[in-house]
Structure 1
């Protein structure tokens, strides 16, 4: 049975992925920052009728990462076959509305935490001559969207770092894939929209963002889980898996003239006036 570690597995995409892969016969180790989160994941697995393991992990804490990976190594006879770096946070807001501490928290979790876990998982995969690493990116890693700049910055950096890693370990038997969803109906999305900054010059734009997401009708996390399964089961996985029409639009935006992209985004988000 192939073992898969999934970080941030207590809700949203992480939980959906843990349940989907467990049902497909993988040995799943889902990480949680708290005991309550671990219990929540275990309860969801029991309700679904699948088995998985939980382990406490805070990807922002290097000691926690090392301790967790040591325990995972014991559980998996030398190290996991695959790692799904899903743990992430979002602190949406315009550039002027996000403080430095919040910006650092986004980068620490979404970028450095992913790098820590990847670095710890790679040696065992190299020794075995096979393995999979799946990085949870976003359409935000393809195009910088207003009112979510720090999240985009972290995902852009993750895309670049993952491209470099993939080229560095080519021939090792370890495959690396990026998952690039658009809007997905998860607690991270709903909480982010609910806690947008108030009483700022961008209030009209924030209201427009809420309406845009509501009109789009975000996909459920299960579609992302099924895509992760594709990346883990394909004989030769793709480098990137886009999900949803936002991902398709993001790829087009990278090819379009920047002036046209700027004008479109400013118009949609009511940013044409200072």
Structure 2
């Protein structure tokens, strides 16, 4: 049988690293992509193929897909995991930073799908996995740009799923809850930079504290819960369209559906310790 091939972006740590290892254990030839190849050394030692790729650089993505096809002749799974959280009040965050977040979290993912799809259509098989977030279904204070990217990727995934179904291709959305990765610290650092002064200073301090909270960190799920869900999705004959997994994902998504807007606003404001004055 032909060995199937998978590409995982953002593979240098956290969910991406765990997913690359999971897919390798399932028998895939796995390419792990990141901007810095030196951060992929651990994966390379274990037989996962390192791939230099910047999802904001079109030529870099074209070259990456071309290399995979040249070396293996196919691409069966694309896991769009590269992304980050840029927190800050919408009034404060520089518009170029907002654009960059969309470039990384949305346009990079869809561009890679565009590049992989001709090969998947030729095979009449393939799975595209887009990592969104429970933040693609709900909102938190000072997370406007981040949530905007995840809401967008959810909608794009739904449209893409319908478009490619006739070609035997699946599109799966993974909606992580709280996961023990570097994400929260990076988001908090971005928040510090954007909200250290001005009208939103108190809100910024509260949300940064929540993102760094040791209590939250202790409740967060390990990245393996996400990679296990991805493993199930890419090996299923008929995968679910969405997998909400990890700490808080299912109950918070359910709460957002059930509560009126202002009640949910109050709930999430209390949960993040937002000042009331």
Deviates more, 1:260-269 or 1:103-112: 260-269
Which structure 2 residues correspond to residues 28-47 of structure 1 after superposition, within 5 A?
A: 28-43=30-45, 45=46
SS in 1 for 2:130: strand
Residue equivalent to 2:270: 267
Distance 1:168 1:263 in 2: 38
Change (3 A) 1:271 1:27: same
- Contact 1:142/1:250 (8 A) holds in 2: no
SS in 2 for 1:265: helix
Residue equivalent to 2:240: 238
Which structure 2 residues correspond to residues 116-155 of structure 1 after superposition, within 5 A?
A: 116-155=111-150
Cα offsets for 1:49-83 (capped at 9, x unmatched): xx221111111011111111111111221x30111
Distance 1:178 1:223 in 2: 14
Give the TM-score of the pair, scaled to structure 1. 0.91
SS in 2 for 1:171: helix
Distance 1:147 1:267 in 2: 14
Deviates more, 1:84-93 or 1:209-218: 209-218
Distance 2:253 2:75 in 1: 32
Distance 1:209 1:10 in 2: 22
Which stretches in structure 1 are left out of the alignment for 5+ residues?
46-50
Which structure 2 residues correspond to residues 108-257 of structure 1 after superposition, within 5 A?
A: 108-197=103-192, 198-199=196-197, 200-202=201-203, 203-211=205-213, 214=216, 217-252=219-254, 253-257=256-260
Match among 88, 94, 101 for residue 96 of structure 2: 101
Task: Tell me by how many angstroms 1:233 deviates.
Answer: 0.7
SS in 2 for 1:113: helix
Instruction: Give the count of matched residue pairs.
Output: 267
Structure 1 segments (4+ residues) deviating >6 Å: none
Distance 1:58 1:215 in 2: 29
- Contact 1:224/1:243 (8 A) holds in 2: yes
Change (3 A) 1:201 1:97: farther
Distance 1:268 1:68 in 2: 41
- Contact 2:37/2:50 (8 A) holds in 1: no
Residue equivalent to 1:63: 59
Distance 2:127 2:232 in 1: 11
Residue equivalent to 1:54: 50
Distance 2:272 2:228 in 1: 31
Distance 1:165 1:195 in 2: 31
Give the TM-score of the pair, scaled to structure 2. 0.90
Deviates more, 1:132-141 or 1:26-35: 26-35
Change (3 A) 1:248 1:73: same
- Contact 2:226/2:246 (8 A) holds in 1: no
Deviates more, 1:83-92 or 1:152-161: 83-92
Cα offsets for 1:167-203 (capped at 9, x unmatched): 1122210011000010111112233234532342322
- Contact 2:84/2:187 (8 A) holds in 1: no
Which stretches in structure 2 are left out of the alignment for 5+ residues?
none
